[in-house]
Amino acid sequence: MAIVELKNVTYKYPLTDSPILQNINLQVNEGEFVAVVGPNGAGKSTLCYTIAGFVPHFFKGELTGTVEVAGIESQTSTLNEWVLNIGLAFQNPFNQISGAKYTVYEEIAFGLENIGVPREEMKARVEEAMKLTGISDLADRSPYSLSGGQQQRVALTSILVMQPKVLVLDEPTSQMDPIGTREVFGVIRTMAENGMTVILAEHKVEWVAQFADRVVALHEGQILLEGNPQEVLTSDLLMDNGFGISRYTSTAREAKKQGLWKKDMLPVTLDDAVEGFALTLPSPDWRGKK
Amino acid sequence: MRIEISNLHFTYPTGVEALRGISLTIESGEQVAIVGQNGSGKTTLVKHLNGLLQPTSGYVRIGDWDTKEHSVAKLARRVGYVFQNPDEQLFSKNVGTEVAFGPKNLGFSGEQVQSQVKDALAMTELSNKMETNPYDLSPTWRKMAALASVISMDTDIVIFDEPTTGQDAANIARIANVIKTLRERGKTVITITHDIDFCAENFERVIALSQGKMLLDGKANEVLGQAELLATTYVDPPQLTRLGKRLGFKSTVRTQDEFLTELKSSESETRPHTS
């Protein structure tokens, strides 16, 4: 069942001449993990803001079409009704951290305090969420004394702790170290498997391919392609329109031209690439096992 | 201009011991990438190079200057620093003024300022945006404006703190091109990055930090091939390096060219001989 539904959505920021989103139609089912990819300026962040209600409630501007999330229609509701259903982690954690709290622990409790969660439950939820994202050891630090990637984990945790039905993430790992990124993707995947709906704007296509159920490719404010991650992320249409692609894809594409890639479908993940290139190296003592 | 760091320790006022005995030398004109886990001390380390932070013990020398004996303003002649977040750096009403601010303050002549601004804008593909307010630029171009405002100072050493964060493929290619141009001009470039594929394709020397100490320092292929050690500081080897390893390649590969060359030679080795 669709929990997020955008119908003919067009949006223009105040004081701009042309719409940043044009005629977007998108349905996301409950528990689905959808990744949105696209070049800078394609409208990824704006789409996140729209699903999270910041557009139009915070940014104003002109929104046409309908945005419905968890049975509530965006334009006819207030932001207060939205926050219980939807959580948004900003691209830049500096913009999200409240500035009102001295420690990471209090920062993560901030949202729960505001919706009046009882103290004991609040403590349990904060501690559980910190454990999940691996930041328990940062509990007593000031949010502002942390490195960029650590701040990003705090920002994500402060949203997860709210247990939203729909989790919207705008490049949540852009400042994280590589293995930390992979771990956070694993956490997000687990949330989706437990029934949370996830919409993620992301450049890191290797992890998108591995963890997301579906990929939406956004280009100049419109949906260019959507579907199965491998099909979308290896499409020539993406490569010709300035989308980021994985090195596995670009290298296999070049290898194919030289007759060194034997399959039809190009790879996006390491496992797909290993499997495909193994056909080029048909040695019995081939060592490409996991 | 040589950079010499000797037994550098740094403890933040909060008591966090961020650097725990770093010693290294970077020669004039080297291109170095610094990788490592969040909180491993990368940004703390480079903030010592232009005097934003002062060693708790040990020393940092930029050429013949000990950073303890010179102000940040003076060190700015030798070391340019592009912040991770351009919003922390940009303040002027238009891109032209922003990019001219640095060289003007270093006391270059009017003509010199003009030519360096023109050059930096051309390098960052911003020549047609001189009149634009930096905050009206998209995040992509704001990043390039931050790069330009440091490049225009024509320092011997340029530091980039996570230049590719949040950037798309086209802009990452632009940034790689800026680094290449600086290399051709003999500049020293030091870049902190989590984008390990970008690191593999653009840097010949890689330093990995872990918990405030040096974990690895060497030629890119040597460092990036050490999957187990890198994992201790939360870094994965580049995509093609991992792929080469899984395919059983004999040598470590980093780039597409290296990968395809190795693939061809492995293919001819494994092909059954027919006569």
3-class DSSP state for residue A58?
A: coil
Sheet with B57-62, side-by-side order of all strands: B17-26, B3-11, B57-62, B65-66
B194 part of contact set with chain A, CB < 8 Å: yes
Q: Give B26→chain A minimum CA distance, Å.
A: 24
Residue B166 placed within a domain: yes
B32 plus B135 within the same structural domain = no
Sorted by sequence, the CB contacts under 8 Å of residue A241 that are 6+ apart come out as: A39, A219, A224
Q: Across the interface, which of A142, A175, A286 has its CB nearest the CB of B165?
A: A175
Q: Cβ contacts (< 8 Å) between A133 and chain B: which residues? A: none
B263 part of contact set with chain A, CB < 8 Å: yes
Single out the residue in B105, B128, B153 at which a domain terminates: B153
Residue B36 placed within a domain: yes
A-interface mutation test, from B202, B224, B234, B265, most A Cβ less than 10 A away: B234
Cβ of B270 within 8 Å of Cβ of A251? The answer is no
Query: Number of folded domains in chain B?
Result: 3
DSSP state of A6: E
The answer to whether A145 and A200 have CB atoms below 8 angstroms apart is no
The answer to whether B170 and A39 have CB atoms below 8 angstroms apart is yes
B-interface mutation test, from A176, A220, A277, most B Cβ less than 10 A away: A277
B114 plus B211 within the same structural domain = no
Residue B35 placed within a domain: yes
Specify the CATH number for the domain of residue B58: 3.40.50.300
Give the pLDDT score at B163: 95
A180 part of contact set with chain B, CB < 8 Å: yes
Q: Cβ contacts (< 8 Å) between A278 and chain B: which residues? A: 247
B260 part of contact set with chain A, CB < 8 Å: yes
Total-model pTM: 0.90
The Cα–Cα gap between B275 and B271 comes to 12
The answer to whether B240 and B213 have CB atoms below 8 angstroms apart is no
Domain extent listing, chain A: 2-241, 246-285
The answer to whether A2 and A70 have CB atoms below 8 angstroms apart is no
Give the pLDDT score at B116: 97
Cβ of B256 within 8 Å of Cβ of A203? The answer is no
Q: Across the interface, which of B196, B246, B271 has its CB nearest the CB of A288?
A: B246
B10 plus B62 within the same structural domain = yes
Rg (CA), chain A: 20
CA distances from residue A69 to A54, A55, A58, A85 in whole angstroms, order as listed: 13, 13, 17, 8
Single out the residue in B129, B153, B177 at which a domain terminates: B153
Q: Give B64→chain A minimum CA distance, Å.
A: 31
Q: Across the interface, which of A145, A254, A274 has its CB nearest the CB of B247?
A: A274
Give the pLDDT score at A80: 81
B114 plus B131 within the same structural domain = yes
Residue B102 placed within a domain: yes
B146 plus B163 within the same structural domain = no
For every one of its 275 residues, what pLDDT tens digit does chain B have, with 9 covering 90 and above? Answer: 999 999 999 999 989 999 999 999 999 999 999 999 988 999 999 999 999 999 999 999 999 999 999 999 999 999 999 998 888 888 899 999 999 999 999 999 999 999 999 999 999 999 999 999 998 898 889 999 999 999 999 999 999 999 998 899 999 999 999 999 999 999 999 999 999 999 999 999 999 999 999 999 999 999 999 999 999 999 999 999 999 999 999 899 999 999 999 999 988 876 555 44
CATH architecture of A2-241: 3-Layer(aba) Sandwich (3.40)
Q: Which of 212-251 (B) contact A at CB < 8 A?
A: 231, 233-236, 238-240, 242-243, 246-248
B201 plus B213 within the same structural domain = yes
Adjacent-strand bridge partners of A10: A64
Q: Across the interface, which of A142, A206, A289 has its CB nearest the CB of B239?
A: A206
Give the pLDDT score at B273: 53
> Is beta strand B3-11 parallel, antiparallel or unpaired with respect to B57-62?
antiparallel
The Cα–Cα gap between B269 and B267 comes to 5
Residue B199 placed within a domain: yes
Q: Cβ contacts (< 8 Å) between B160 and chain A: which residues? A: none
B73 part of contact set with chain A, CB < 8 Å: no
B134 plus B192 within the same structural domain = no
B215 plus B266 within the same structural domain = no
Residue B84 placed within a domain: no
Tokens representing residue B217 in the block: 């320092």
- In 3D space, the residue among B189, B143, B194, B150 whose CA is nearest the CA of residue B170 turns out to be B143
Q: Give B240→chain A minimum CA distance, Å.
A: 7
Q: Across the interface, which of A148, A243, A248 has its CB nearest the CB of B239?
A: A248
Domain that holds residue B187: 1-78+155-237
Tokens representing residue B202 in the block: 């653009």
Q: Which of 119-138 (A) contact B at CB < 8 A?
A: none
Q: Across the interface, which of A91, A273, A281 has its CB nearest the CB of B166?
A: A91
3-class DSSP state for residue A70?
A: coil
Low-confidence residues of chain A: pLDDT under 70: 282-290
Helix %, strand %, coil % for chain A, to 5?
40, 20, 40
- Predicted confidence (pLDDT) per residue in A46-86, tens digit: 999 999 999 998 899 999 999 999 999 988 888 788 878 99
B159 plus B219 within the same structural domain = yes
Q: Across the interface, which of A39, A283, A290 has its CB nearest the CB of B168?
A: A39
- Which residue type, as a one-letter code, is found at position A208? V
- In 3D space, the residue among B242, B261, B251, B255 whose CA is nearest the CA of residue B204 turns out to be B255
- Predicted confidence (pLDDT) per residue in A189-226, tens digit: 999 999 999 999 999 999 999 999 999 999 999 999 99
The Cα–Cα gap between A96 and A179 comes to 24
Examine residue A118 and say whether the peptide bond preceding it is cis (omega within 30 degrees of 0). no
Single out the residue in B106, B134, B153 at which a domain terminates: B153
DSSP state of A235: -
**ipTM here:** 0.87
A274 part of contact set with chain B, CB < 8 Å: yes
B267 part of contact set with chain A, CB < 8 Å: yes
Q: Cβ contacts (< 8 Å) between A174 and chain B: which residues? A: 165-166
How would DSSP label each residue in A87-149? EEE-SSGGGTS-SS-SSHHHHHHHHHHHTT--HHHHHHHHHHHHHHTT-GGGTTS-GGGS-HH
Q: Which of 95-134 (B) contact A at CB < 8 A?
A: none
B-interface mutation test, from A16, A40, A141, most B Cβ less than 10 A away: A40
B50 plus B102 within the same structural domain = no
